[in-house]
Structure 1
């Protein structure tokens, strides 16, 4: 497995629905809204001693069907970082830890269990993963990376959107950092075992399909899906919606688009933003504010935007975490129990630092606290 998918590359030009928005370049010492609260994973923490989750990334939080929070982790190891030592180092993805603790508590996020484990013990991956081999559908698959999760109390079902990774090959300083083969959905009716469905949103040979990295948020009967290309490359962010009970019907997804005079649903998607985005995260907060977070790949900062609704105009970027505050970061996944008040926005942020020779020095997830 090559170790280049988390590098920060390229230029970004960001446009809003109504007008162009030019991002402000962050300089050393630039003000940021969020501060570090605690490290959540690592070989020296109970995530390893209890569930063998040492080196890992992402930590995407979503509300489970029972009201607690599941945290989805990507490539996970029982060593501090992906290359070991020792090897083999129990590579798994995705893995889920769970918590009922509010992230605003004095001690921050505290995990109390892992999916597919009764008490303590090795946390296995949630679904089939090809692991540098032939995947469940007969195609080459390097790994399976979660994009987001969502649950439905009406049925007790959970869904995970994911990418099937074709390769981690870098496209150079202005190219993509990885290529997904397709985006897919997996479901669970017991909160532990996830089944990958036959549904596939195929990428193309040029790696330019804009429906590969998803984030999902429900409001009423609708699930709103924001998506970008894989690999942190220049491209559009698209918005679709689908009724919550028709997520498995690809024909039921409606695009949000511009027809030359106005915006509307049921049209081919028109970009709501364009730029070089990291993995997006969108959540509707308790006060109704919609917040979007992502890595701005020109500044290396985790930034947020807000809007009054999913199909409304998004504000300019607000810097939450800078690379001078926390180097080699990515992610920026919004906790669904966040609020827009001061110190009410909770972000799960990944860090992967390496020496010039490529050897890792840190590979973990931390909690940051800011304001929307």
Structure 2
């Protein structure tokens, strides 16, 4: 994968040498003075801002920016993580929002200090990413974000994840964030806690959300560490459930899908107890047997995207990082009367996966076939009524936001249409479609950028995308063909 252009910031050789020498051992404190600021202190002398007390050495690189830099292809080594490329909340530099014309345009900065949603004042959020959205089934869209940085106080406000709620159905002027589960006035809470075990779990990040039978579910990944660009390691992925519209969440440990790198202990809570019927030779009635299954190893099933279709919820699965391909599974969520039920969704033995070779569904994930070729990063899948097809959005190997189409979740999937080029918005990653924008010409979706480390709302005119027969050819970059032109850039202040 081509690396993104480096965001080089000059630091003194003394500061760099000091950081390099100590980064591999332990760092108890670091001051923003070690990196020159391009702007005035956003906290105006009121505190250390998002950096807080810096916490443990494991928290030094603050999880989310390490991931963002890894995804954007910026991070090279530990020194880079700390000062070499200047983490935004160390140097208070920000990014930009492009003004585009053509098939895709920017609509709004959804989060951040200068967002119309005033997330710094209302929720203690100056930096975050992702923006995974789903319909809660009750007139709201829920949005989950990843590693989240706080506002100007001395104590650390790093949260691994946060949830927003929105009833805004008019997206042409932006997306209003109505509220969020709160830890205290002015501070949104982390909805799924991280263990904080040094060397075992850096953070826990949402990857997909869905509503089933009035309950809200999140699929999330337990991250061991962020590695080289486009690579990171996970312990497991799992489901969490909320019965009160996202206010409180319970992790479901028996839904773990572990990797070969798992560093967390697997205990009795991670085993799934269920009854199976065992045929008995010479007898009509099978014998019931109680089983206690350990969590399955699913290295290729660590990040997810959900889409409902008929009686099933389909789950697209990719490995950790952004180098792998996508497979698809499904689980039944409607009974014969057409009513949604949740029991099978929480039952790992009820999931089945598409085996393209035999053209059948199987309960064996090891037989699951790739349906979207690598490299696939964070993924969003939906059925688009306007196109009459399923769509899949993600960032490709060239850091472009792309869309594929298919008549069925199992494919065949079309080649890539580039919705947003990295030429227009460098360091972009992630692409999550708004579930209420699937019926008309304009489709809205969120993206994140490394330099601003916040969530943007974008809009694409679907009349520009391919129609007709599904073909495997990729469309050329619209920033090159002139289908998208940049008219200017609006700076986004740093934290």
TM-score normalised according to structure 2 size: 0.61
Contact 1:162 1:213 in 2 (8 A): yes
- Please state how far the C-alpha of 1:128 moved relative to its aligned partner: 2.0
Q: Give matches, 1:1-372, under 5 Å.
A: 1=59, 2=61, 3-6=65-68, 7-9=71-73, 33-45=103-115, 46-79=118-151, 88-104=155-171, 106-116=172-182, 121-130=186-195, 132-133=196-197, 140-152=200-212, 154=213, 156-170=214-228, 176-191=230-245, 192-198=247-253, 199-205=255-261, 209-233=299-323, 235-244=324-333, 245=342, 246-259=344-357, 262-266=358-362, 268-287=367-386, 288-297=388-397, 299-339=398-438, 341-342=440-441, 344-353=442-451, 362-372=452-462
CA distance in 1, matches of 2:327, 2:102: 27
Q: Compute the RMSD of aligned alpha carbons.
A: 2.6
Contact 1:33 1:319 in 2 (8 A): no
- Please state how far the C-alpha of 1:208 moved relative to its aligned partner: 8.3
- Please state how far the C-alpha of 1:221 moved relative to its aligned partner: 1.9
Residue 374 of structure 2: SS of its match in structure 1? strand
Residue 36 of structure 1: SS of its match in structure 2? strand
Residue 273 of structure 1: SS of its match in structure 2? coil
CA distance in 2, matches of 1:123, 1:258: 44
Deviates more, 1:188-197 or 1:38-47: 38-47
- Greater strand content: 1
- Greater CA radius of gyration, 1 or 2? 2
Instruction: Check 1:31–1:65 CA distance in 2 against 1; reply closer, same or farther (3 A cut).
Output: closer
- Greater helix content: 2
CA distance in 2, matches of 1:193, 1:57: 21
Contact 1:224 1:239 in 2 (8 A): yes
Unaligned residue ranges in structure 1 (runs of 5+): 11-29, 80-84, 354-361
Contact 1:4 1:177 in 2 (8 A): no
Instruction: Check 1:222–1:4 CA distance in 2 against 1; reply closer, same or farther (3 A cut).
Output: same
CA distance in 1, matches of 2:240, 2:183: 19
CA distance in 2, matches of 1:296, 1:200: 28
Q: Residue by residue, what CA displacement relative to the aligned partner does 1:249-308 show, whole Å, maximum 9, x if unpaired?
A: 11111110123xx522226201112212210111123455311000002x1100011112
CA distance in 2, matches of 1:89, 1:184: 27
Instruction: Check 1:193–1:160 CA distance in 2 against 1; reply closer, same or farther (3 A cut).
Output: same
- Please state how far the C-alpha of 1:338 moved relative to its aligned partner: 1.7
- Please state how far the C-alpha of 1:31 moved relative to its aligned partner: 9.9
Contact 2:258 2:298 in 1 (8 A): no
Residue 453 of structure 2: SS of its match in structure 1? strand
- Please state how far the C-alpha of 1:177 moved relative to its aligned partner: 2.2
Instruction: Check 1:340–1:186 CA distance in 2 against 1; reply closer, same or farther (3 A cut).
Output: same
Q: Residue by residue, what CA displacement relative to the aligned partner does 1:133-155 show, whole Å, maximum 9, x if unpaired?
A: 27xxxx93211100011112x3x
- Please state how far the C-alpha of 1:241 moved relative to its aligned partner: 0.5
Residue 71 of structure 1: SS of its match in structure 2? strand
Q: Residue by residue, what CA displacement relative to the aligned partner does 1:165-200 show, whole Å, maximum 9, x if unpaired?
A: 111132xx6xx5211110000001112101011121
CA distance in 2, matches of 1:323, 1:5: 18
Residue 325 of structure 2: SS of its match in structure 1? strand
Instruction: Check 1:218–1:320 CA distance in 2 against 1; reply closer, same or farther (3 A cut).
Output: same
- Please state how far the C-alpha of 1:103 moved relative to its aligned partner: 4.8
